[in-house]
Structure 1
Amino acid sequence: MQMIFNRLLLSFLVVVLMSPSCRSAEAEKYSTAPISNQGRKWRIGYLEAGPYINYPMNLRALTAAFVELGWMESIDLPQQQDENDTRKLWKALSKNAKSRYIEFPADAYWSCNWDDALRKKTRTEILVRLNQRKDIDLMLAMGTKAGQDLATNEHSVPTIVLSSSNPVRSGIIKGVDDSGLDHVNARVDPTRYERQIRIFHSIFGFRKLGIVYEHDTPDGKTYAAIDDVEKVAKELDFEIVSCHAPFSNVSEEEAQKAVQACHRQLAPKVDACYITVHRGVSLQNMPVLLKPFYERKIPTFSQVGSREVKHGVLMSIARADFKYIALFHAKTIARIFHGAKPRDLDQVFEDPPRIAINLKTAQMIGYDPSVDILGAADEIYETIETVKSEK
């Protein structure tokens, strides 16, 4: 089993390091150096369908990437009580960002609180502004639903889609190498979730994999990468044991209770669990979510990344606080401001194949990671952090 893991990791490294994108040459035509918009600042807007843990992390990392590229001065963004909230971050950027090149207007921020009616109204409002006022030079569409709302021919403002589970399957872009719209660029990692499941299986050889998602919507299946999981399950001959937990048009509390119930239901039935993107999963409720798996000595893998490992999930792919993904996006934005067409720039960026692992969780479930596993880990946590609820 360990030899299989080593071969998998080596093959992923070869793919990441040796497979240049066919659009890299086009990207290199355009500088990433700071440039003004004919003497004025480029104005950036932001849309999300609702608060989610990855969104503030992506926004913070993108800010740091702009600083690294010289587009703005270093800024101390406020610490958050609510791990999902981007509103305060945007407010701080709008008020305190020091730059001769870019700005983040306070009134160019929209969050729809996962309310479909508000989302529809907001989309209309944004399109009117983009087409009539024309005072926004680039939109950040954070997440799948925001990407779906702005990846449209109803406007032509450059749009960067961030933190989307699968922008191809969710219909945001036409394909991996072509967004299908001149003004749209969405980061893609086509085999990311397949790689996650393969690495997880190479280590534990599970026969029954638990997974929680919203069964009755295309978005639910996309967020959980069900097509990818099913593909690997068929190849490696393991069973998927799923549980339905709604996240659309329900409160965050209802979503959390649904995931908790599913975890209690799955724990006796599976020998591993894949923790997927879901509104019911947060750092605050991680202890109660993971308790059934701790008690049954079940290994868990986070689809989202190492922050959940830091808070008790056994392992994931290390993401370095989104640093490399954010730098990819920042360079894309810089090239667009230099005249590149978003559609012509690279969309593919694969997560470096390094592991994050929590040794305290490993101890609790009786798992003793080998030297090879630890050697492949960029992030090793020896304790389980908890987040206090605001309630």
Structure 2
Amino acid sequence: MIFMGSISPVFSQEKQANYPVQAKTNDGKKWRIGYLEGGPFADYQMNLIAIFHGLVSLGWIEDQAIPTQADDKDNSQLWQWLATSIRSDYVEFVADAYWTSHWDAELRPATKAAVLKRLNEQKDIDLMLALGTWAALDLANDEHHTPTVAASVADALEAKIIKSVEDSGYDHLHAKIDPSRNARQLMLFHDTMGFDRLGVVYENSEEGRSYAAINDVEKLVKEREIELVTCHASFSNTDLEVAKQEVFACYEKLVGETKAIYITRHRGLTPDVVEKLVPIFNKNQVVTFSQQGSRDVKLGVLMSIALAGHKCVGNFYAETIAKIFNGALPRNLPQVFEEPPKIAINLSSIRAIGLEIPVELFGIVDEVFE
């Protein structure tokens, strides 16, 4: 399936939204799906698994258990399992259509070139999954016309992946966006915890600011007269161990400067780093909210968005893919998706800090961890 051009008229999103999602073959053949990422990142794995489950729920893939992954950041083994083990009459994840730049800025152009060569010359991929900002940017252009679903992007508009909330700008491109997601998180965090200083960690680059939703953070602290305390830690184009060390050092520094921290998306914030930081946060009575999700809450972070949100996001991506395979133009499908207002909390950390949970908060608590 190829879409030519980037300036075709945009049809009614209501009409496009009503495209069927039932499973169908590509003229008797399976639809072939490829994958591109900037580098290993835990959120990408969660989203890929959520997409799998979404396609299962729509009947495109038979239900089966996904093996526990040895590395929750590296999708290469998961992709090979998807390519060789799923049972489906309709779709296949193509084993050799998996590309990653390993967060190496020097490798990124060659990776992009390899993907474009495959898409434009072999033309054997029906849809690309672009996980993260790097991947989405590399496929959000007129250099190819293969349907592309950008996923796990913090803010597709701020990152200049899409033209607007309503229009991706390219016929072949779709990028989910929740314009107020980070703002809602931040307002919920402030409304419940009432802090006057907020700490954040991010890479001081355009992409690093996008990953960490710094524009939303800066807007909130200005509106609510909160003092912002920042620390910079390398995200991309650096060794993972260096990224982990810089992140840990930054959060240790912030603990001495603020009593509230918005834990932003960062590849250096691995589970082992989170587990080392939680006792430090609790000992110093620092309240925390994870931008990434309930995985961090399970490890001891005070609160975040519940896992139910990830399931709903996976269903949204799966429905988008299904509609594309049923003939919808990616550009004309709705991009806005708001996660349900459900949160996760960690009771052990709440008790360790000595907090009392506001009664109104329990109405939106979906996950509770000890």
Secondary structure of the corresponding residue to residue 301 of structure 1: strand
Q: Could you tell me which of 341, 351, 368 is aligned with 1:363?
A: 351
Q: CA deviation at 1:184?
A: 0.1
Gaps of 5+ in 2: 1-10
Specify the code of the residue in structure 2 equivalent to 1:357.
Answer: I
1:8-36: CA deviation from partner (whole Å, max 9, x where unpaired):
xxxxxxxxxxxxxx965223441000111
Contact 1:174 1:180 in 2 (8 A): yes
1:204-245: CA deviation from partner (whole Å, max 9, x where unpaired):
110100001112x10111111111011111111101100111
Contact 1:53 1:83 in 2 (8 A): yes
Corresponding residue number in structure 1 for 2:114: 125
- Does structure 1 residue 305 correspond to structure 2 residue 293? yes
Relative to structure 1, is the Cα distance of residues 90 and 321 closer, same or farther in structure 2, using a 3 angstrom cutoff?
farther
Which whole-Å CA distance do the structure 2 matches of 1:319 and 1:252 have between them? 26
1:31-79: CA deviation from partner (whole Å, max 9, x where unpaired):
0001110111100000111111111111111111111100011122210
Corresponding residue number in structure 1 for 2:267: 279
Which whole-Å CA distance do the structure 2 matches of 1:287 and 1:95 have between them? 34
Contact 2:176 2:336 in 1 (8 A): yes
Which whole-Å CA distance do the structure 1 matches of 2:135 and 2:64 have between them? 26
Corresponding residue number in structure 2 for 1:293: 281
Q: TM-score, normalised by structure 2?
A: 0.95
Which whole-Å CA distance do the structure 2 matches of 1:82 and 1:338 have between them? 34
- Does structure 1 residue 344 correspond to structure 2 residue 340? no
Contact 1:302 1:316 in 2 (8 A): yes
Equivalent runs, 1:19-38 vs 2, <5 Å: 25-38=14-27
Q: Could you tell me which of 49, 74, 83 is aligned with 1:85?
A: 74
Equivalent runs, 1:47-58 vs 2, <5 Å: 47-58=36-47
Corresponding residue number in structure 2 for 1:389: none
- Does structure 1 residue 242 correspond to structure 2 residue 230? yes
Q: CA deviation at 1:374?
A: 2.3
Specify the code of the residue in structure 2 equivalent to 1:50.
Answer: G
Which whole-Å CA distance do the structure 2 matches of 1:77 and 1:355 have between them? 25
Q: CA deviation at 1:178?
A: 0.3
Q: Could you tell me which of 194, 198, 209 is aligned with 2:198?
A: 209
Q: CA deviation at 1:117?
A: 2.0
RMSD, matched Cα: 1.3
- Does structure 1 residue 166 correspond to structure 2 residue 155? yes
Q: Could you tell me which of 197, 220, 237 is aligned with 1:232?
A: 220
Corresponding residue number in structure 1 for 2:58: 69
Contact 2:17 2:334 in 1 (8 A): no
Which whole-Å CA distance do the structure 2 matches of 1:70 and 1:23 have between them? 27
Which whole-Å CA distance do the structure 1 matches of 2:293 and 2:110 have between them? 32
Q: CA deviation at 1:246?
A: 1.3
Structure 1 runs of 4+ aligned residues shifted over 6 Å read none
Which whole-Å CA distance do the structure 2 matches of 1:323 and 1:27 have between them? 23
Corresponding residue number in structure 2 for 1:135: 124
Contact 1:319 1:351 in 2 (8 A): no
Which whole-Å CA distance do the structure 2 matches of 1:333 and 1:285 have between them? 35
Which whole-Å CA distance do the structure 2 matches of 1:289 and 1:118 have between them? 32
Contact 1:61 1:321 in 2 (8 A): no
Q: Could you tell me which of 30, 34, 58 is aligned with 1:41?
A: 30
Corresponding residue number in structure 1 for 2:185: 196
Q: CA deviation at 1:248?
A: 2.2
Contact 1:23 1:346 in 2 (8 A): no
Q: CA deviation at 1:321?
A: 6.4
Which whole-Å CA distance do the structure 1 matches of 2:236 and 2:349 have between them? 31
Which whole-Å CA distance do the structure 2 matches of 1:243 and 1:262 have between them? 6
Which whole-Å CA distance do the structure 2 matches of 1:319 and 1:280 have between them? 21
Q: CA deviation at 1:370?
A: 2.9
Secondary structure of the corresponding residue to residue 340 of structure 2: coil
Q: TM-score, normalised by structure 1?
A: 0.90
Contact 1:57 1:321 in 2 (8 A): no
Corresponding residue number in structure 2 for 1:326: 314
Corresponding residue number in structure 1 for 2:363: 375
Which whole-Å CA distance do the structure 1 matches of 2:235 and 2:321 have between them? 32
Which whole-Å CA distance do the structure 2 matches of 1:183 and 1:247 have between them? 29
Give the paired residue count.
Answer: 360
Relative to structure 1, is the Cα distance of residues 350 and 29 closer, same or farther in structure 2, using a 3 angstrom cutoff?
closer
Which whole-Å CA distance do the structure 2 matches of 1:104 and 1:264 have between them? 42
- Does structure 1 residue 60 correspond to structure 2 residue 78? no
Which whole-Å CA distance do the structure 2 matches of 1:147 and 1:25 have between them? 25
1:298-324: CA deviation from partner (whole Å, max 9, x where unpaired):
100000011111111100121326111
1:233-268: CA deviation from partner (whole Å, max 9, x where unpaired):
111110110011112221111111111111111112
- Does structure 1 residue 317 correspond to structure 2 residue 286? no
Q: CA deviation at 1:197?
A: 0.6
Specify the code of the residue in structure 1 equivalent to 2:243.
Answer: A
Corresponding residue number in structure 2 for 1:95: 84
Which whole-Å CA distance do the structure 2 matches of 1:257 and 1:263 have between them? 10
Corresponding residue number in structure 2 for 1:148: 137
Q: CA deviation at 1:364?
A: 1.1
